[in-house]
Structure formats: structure tokens, C-alpha cells
Amino acid sequence: MDSDADGTGRGSVRAPGPAISHAHGPGTVPGSTNPVPNVDSALGQQRELDRKRLHLHVLLETSRELSGMLQPRAILETFLLTAMGPLGAVRGVAVLARPGSAQGLVASRGLPKADAEALEGRLPDICDLYFPYRDALAGSPAAKVRVLARGKVHGETPPPGGESILPAGLDILLTWGVDEEHCGLLALGPRLVAEQGQASGGAAGQDSGLDSGLDSGLDEDAADLLQNLVHILIDTLRGALAVNSIRQLSNDLTRQNERLAEALSASQSAQRGLDRRVFQLAAINELAGELSNIQAVREILDRFLLTMLGAFGAASGLALVLDRAAGSVSLALRGATDPGLAGYEAADTLVYKAFAGSGVRSVAPLTVGTLADPATALKGGGLPFAPSAAVYFALSPQVQGVLVLGPCIAEGDGADTGRAAQANVCLGEADQQLLRAQVAALLGYVRGARHLETITALNADLTRHNEELTRTITELTEARQTIVLLERAGERVRAFLRNEAERSRRFSWLNCGVILATATLLALLFNLASPGGMSLIPEHLRQPPAKAVSAQKARELVETEGALIVDARPQAFYDQKRIRGAVNLTPALFDMGYLMRFGQMPLETPIIVYGGNISRRWDQEVAARLLAREHERVLVLDDGLAAWSGRGYPVEP
């Protein structure tokens, strides 16, 4: 019997039961107004309703039990318990298989342990014997349920050898398709109590509907219940398989994403390694251009060290060159304070430790050796930081050095960095080789700079010697010229002395008188003819002299009345020493100086003038001119600057 008559792929669940029908009983007279009901018929219909209600309850509980399950084996085991109970089956087997791969699950209830284990091993035979119909029903709905029989049922021939695969007594056989890959098999039996037929003809009429293709021990309602249970099982398995498939896909996607993430991480790591190598090579290329223009060893070491720190990501480092012949040290240090390595003894100790730790057995020119364990080799060498990489080098047996890099700023990437992290250093094998190659290139620049320093020193000595020789020649030339000049001067002096001696013998007072009279006459004529001619008698002698004032009184006038002090001496004397705050006003520049400094001064302001000597009385002359310009209080400092400074009053500069 096919259960999907409605074309949906799933059998319809029957209604709780038909309405109870009233038939004419044997004692009922047709047309009678008081019919006698058939009690047995009513009781039979009530039992039918109760059974259908029970079947619906079983379907509901089965649906609830299976709805939350996702494991196919648990679903099959739970379904067997649900299906065997209402049908009264003693044993049952449920199979979920993939015929294409002959794999699947077998759940059993009520079978001996040996039979259950035998079924697990005969799953391929079950697939071959009970699921060949899939090819013929490729166009049918996946959930179509087929009925098989142990023996001849409505002309169907059981699968060959079927009786030898399933245990005896499992007479109720159903197969179905879950999806394109999975098929199912349900085998139940025997039943504890067979359905009892009704003694009356009405009961016999109900049993006439058992021709359903199932075991003859099941009536139509039991067959519908079983097929509805199978459809619930199919839907539950579909959902569980779909969820498991989604989970499997999710897990596969997760694993694939993880592999892709690992591949991306490896690619990014490789890219970072390549970027780092490109950065290192670019920095080294720029360094080559910079070092070619540097001539000092110390500057070359400093620039080289700075580039290596940036290229290899080290936080600190040093580069040191020791010249044992000259007893000198060239040191470049970055990221730390010098603990004394600039000294010869400390530098010599560090270089010796680097030589011992490098494994180099000779100090031939341009020797380079990498320290495998710099932290151990340079321990006690006076380093101000923990070394992570070090390279020893030798320009010659007398000129040796070492390059040391400190801790890394950040972890690197790539396989080399992984090995470097295990060795507690920040440079991988490739970085170590690159660093060693750069140190080898550094030696060429350092050697060239040292040769240039030697040539420069030789040129400086030669230049100094040339300058000394030139200066000596110049001095000799000047001395010769001086000697010639002195000789000529001596001849002239001797000639002059001879002429003067002769003139002295010819001297007469008449000649002196004539010369004096002539000079006086010419001076008078010039003075009279010149508009600004000099007076024959000084102006200060023609006017009454200004009052004198002592140094102490002058200081009081300055402090109390704001008297102005005037220095009448020439500018040269004024610049050498003067009273603090004094104004320079000389007779020679009186008119111009007066207009610039005294034109706006009140006439009643006290003015104290100083500056004169035995032969020149500049103070009296300036005081007279100030009085001539109507200044009311013009005083002359008695004894001048000497009296003022003698009392300890301030002077300048």
C-alpha cells in the first residue's frame, strides 16, 4: 500500500474516528417509532474512537520526543520504543543507510546481543537487498514508503535471501527514502497480542480492510499509525541530517578558514620578511652613498652604526676601532651611556673578548668573524647593554674592532626569526650573514678614511713646514730691507749732523730776530683778515673768572639740585677717565656741542665745569663761554678730576 496518495510524499493522518452510525438491529422493526439501539455496535464504535484517540496521542508524543533530537542513532532508538509500544511488537530494527557507500546506522530493540552485532556487520547486504528500488523510483518523492513482506503478500516477491539477513519474526517491513543519499528500513514483530476480530458480522466487515500490504496481523488504523510514525521519523531524520550537514559544512568552512588564515598569516609573515629585507637593502644602499662622502673614521662609525640599528631593529649598539700602534680608540655609541670604553684599556679588553668569541684564528687584513653567543663571549667586557649580535673585524694586526648590537625593539618575522627567538637573539641566520657582509664593506671605508687621515696629516705637516720656511724667508728679507734702511738712515743722520754742525758755526741772533718778527707780522695780518680770527687774548682772560667750588660741595649740588657736570677736556682725555655722568664740552667744539646738549636747559640750572692743566685752562674757557650765554650758576671744580676721585666719588669708565 502506498501512503502518499495525496501526492505530498507523506500519508495523511486519519481523523480521530468517524461518527457513530445507527444501523437497524435484528430486533428493530422498520417504520417503528420506538427503535431498539444495537448496543454492541455502539460499543464497537466507541472502542474505535478510543483507539484512534490513542493513536493521535502516540503521534503527538512521538513528534514531541523526536523534535529536539539531532543525533540519528538516538532518533532511531527513541522511535523504536515509540513504535513498538502502541503496536505491541516484541522486537524491532531500524536502519538508516547510504546505499551508495553501504554505510549507515543500525538500531535494535529486543534482539539478542549476537543478532544485533550481526546486523551491524551485514549493513552492506541490507543495502543491496532492500534498497534497489531507488533507481526505479528516481522520480518519486523522497519520502515515499514502500511495504515489503516476509513471504508472499499481494504477489510481491521478497528480496532474495531476505530471510537469512533479518532475524526471524520481523514480519512487518517498511522501507523509505529520506533524501537523495539516505534510505531507511523498519522491521517489527512479532506482536504480543493480535487484534481480536469482532464476533458479529459488523466486526467482520471492519476486518475486511486488512488487505493493506502489511502483515495481516495489523488492521487499517494500525497500518496508518505505523506509516504516520514513519513519516514523523523521516521528517526528524531529514532535519537532523540537514543540521548535521550544516554543522559539517560549518566545521569544514571553519577548518578551511583556519587553513586560509594560516596561509594568509604565512603570506603576511613572508611579506613582512620581504618588506624588512627591502628596507634593509634600501638603507644599506643609501649608507653606501653617504659613507663615500665621509672622511673621518669616527663619523663613518657613527653613521654606519645608526643605519645598522635601524635596519635590524636594535635599540642600542656600538662600533669601536682600536689602533694599538697609535694607542687610540674610535668609538660610536648609540642608545646608551659610555661606561669608559673610549679608554684604551677598556677598549682593548672588549676587542680581545670579541676576537676570542668569534672563532677567528688569525688577524689578517680585512678579517671578519661573527660571534655565535655574544652574551657569553662579551661578558665582563664593559658593555652598557645586553648584546644580541656582535661581529669582530680586523683592518690589520694592529687595527682591530668590534660591532655590537643591543636588544631588539620588536620581534621580527619569518623562519629565521623563529630560530633567532630560540637562540635569544633578534637576528636570524640571513640577518647575521647580511650584517657580516656590511661589516666587511665597512672595513673598506674605514681603511680609506684612515689612509686619508694619514695623507691629510702629512699634508698638514708639509704645509706647516712650508709656512715656517716662508715666514723665515720673509723675516730674512725684511731684516735685509731693515738693514738697508738703517744704513741709509745712518748716512742721512750723519749728513744731517754734519750740516747742522756747519750751520751752528754760522748761527747769529740777528737771524733769529728777523724770523720772529716776520712770523709775528704774518700772524697779525692773517688774524685781521680772517672773519673768524683768533683773539690775541683768550676770552676767559677778558671776563671775570667763574666761582670755584669744592668737590664735596659739587657732590651736594649734584644730589640736591641736579647740577650738571661738564668735562671741558678733549675727547681723548674724556674717554680715558671722567666723573660719572659728566658731559663732554670742549672749547674747540663749544658752539656745536652747546646747541646739541644745552640749548633747552634752564639758565638757572647749576653747571660745574672741570678739566685743565698748567698750560691749558679748558675749564675756565668753557665756564666763561657759558656765562657769556647768560647761565646764572656756572662753577669751576677746584682741583678738577683729581679732587673728585681723591674723595672716592664715582668715576667712569
Domain boundary (419, 454, 489) is at 454
By mean pLDDT, which of 146-155, 311-320, 399-408, 477-486 is the weakest? 146-155
What strand order describes the sheet that includes 389-394?
Answer: 328-334, 317-323, 399-405, 389-394, 367-370
Q: Is the pLDDT of residue 94 over 90?
A: yes
The pLDDT of 587-614, averaged and rounded, is 84
> Does residue 261 lie in a domain region?
no
> Does residue 479 lie in a domain region?
no
Residue 45 contacts by C-beta under 8 Å, 6 or more apart in sequence?
17, 18, 20, 21
> Does residue 33 lie in a domain region?
no
Percent of the chain scored above 90 by pLDDT?
A: 13
**Residue 603 belongs to domain with CATH number:** 3.40.250.10
pLDDT tens by residue, 501-524: 776 666 566 667 777 787 777 777
Assess whether 326 and 232 both reside in one domain. Answer: no
> Does residue 505 lie in a domain region?
no
> Does residue 151 lie in a domain region?
yes
Q: Is the pLDDT of residue 8 over 50?
A: no
Handedness of CA 495, 496, 501, 502 (dihedral sign): positive
Residues forming beta bridges with residue 145, ordered by sequence position: 176
Domain boundary (454, 471, 497) is at 454
Per-residue DSSP letter, 132: T
Backbone φ, ψ for residue 642 (5° rounding): -65, -45
Range of the domain at 82: 39-193+214-249
The pLDDT of 24-43, averaged and rounded, is 56
Q: Which residue has the higher pLDDT, 612 or 644?
A: 644
Q: Which helix (H) or strand (E) holds 367?
A: strand 367-370
The pLDDT of 456-477, averaged and rounded, is 88
Assess whether 318 and 189 both reside in one domain. Answer: no
pLDDT tens by residue, 120-149: 888 888 888 887 655 444 444 445 677 765
Q: Is the pLDDT of residue 536 over 70?
A: no
Give how many domains the chain has, as a whole number: 3
> Does residue 258 lie in a domain region?
no
Assess whether 245 and 304 both reside in one domain. Answer: no
pLDDT, residue 318, reads: 92
What strand order describes the sheet that includes 183-191?
Answer: 103-109, 89-98, 183-191, 172-177, 145-149
Given a contact cutoff of 8 angstroms between Cβ atoms, the answer to whether 609 and 624 are in contact is no
Assess whether 437 and 550 both reside in one domain. Answer: no
Assess whether 224 and 319 both reside in one domain. Answer: no
Please state, in angstroms and rounded to a whole number, the distance separating the CA atoms of residues 132 and 151.
18
Assess whether 302 and 433 both reside in one domain. Answer: yes
**Residue 106 belongs to domain with CATH number:** 3.30.450.40
Per-residue DSSP letter, 210: G
pLDDT tens by residue, 49-93: 888 888 888 889 888 988 888 899 999 999 998 888 888 888 999
Number of residues that this document lists for the chain: 653
pLDDT tens by residue, 194-244: 444 333 333 333 333 323 344 445 778 788 888 898 999 999 999 988 898
* 3-state SS assignment for residue 637: strand
Assess whether 562 and 621 both reside in one domain. Answer: yes
Q: Which residue has the higher pLDDT, 60 or 423?
A: 60
Assess whether 299 and 438 both reside in one domain. Answer: yes
Given a contact cutoff of 8 angstroms between Cβ atoms, the answer to whether 69 and 76 are in contact is no
Assess whether 232 and 313 both reside in one domain. Answer: no
Instruction: Write out the three cell numbers for 512.
Output: 733769529
Tell me the one-letter amino acid at 425: V
By mean pLDDT, which of 91-105, 161-175, 350-364, 429-443 is the weakest? 161-175
The verdict on whether omega for the bond into residue 653 sits within 30 degrees of 0, i.e. cis, is: yes
pLDDT tens by residue, 553-596: 989 998 888 889 999 898 888 888 899 989 988 888 888 888 88
Q: Which residue has the higher pLDDT, 89 or 161?
A: 89
**Residue 350 belongs to domain with CATH number:** 3.30.450
> Does residue 626 lie in a domain region?
yes
If you average pLDDT over every residue of the chain, what do you get? 78
pLDDT, residue 485, reads: 84
> Does residue 460 lie in a domain region?
no
Given a contact cutoff of 8 angstroms between Cβ atoms, the answer to whether 122 and 102 are in contact is no
Q: Is the pLDDT of residue 155 over 80?
A: no
Tell me the one-letter amino acid at 114: A
The verdict on whether omega for the bond into residue 587 sits within 30 degrees of 0, i.e. cis, is: no
Domain boundary (414, 438, 454) is at 454
Please state, in angstroms and rounded to a whole number, the distance separating the CA atoms of residues 142 and 4.
11
Assess whether 240 and 336 both reside in one domain. Answer: no
Percent of the chain scored above 70 by pLDDT?
A: 78
Assess whether 347 and 439 both reside in one domain. Answer: yes
Assess whether 97 and 235 both reside in one domain. Answer: yes
pLDDT, residue 257, reads: 92
DSSP letter string over 234-287?
HHHHHHHHHHHHHHHHHHHHHHHHHHHHHHHHHHHHHHHHHHHHHHHHHHHHHH
Q: Is the pLDDT of residue 404 over 80?
A: yes
Closest to 93 (Cα-Cα) out of 22, 21, 166: 166
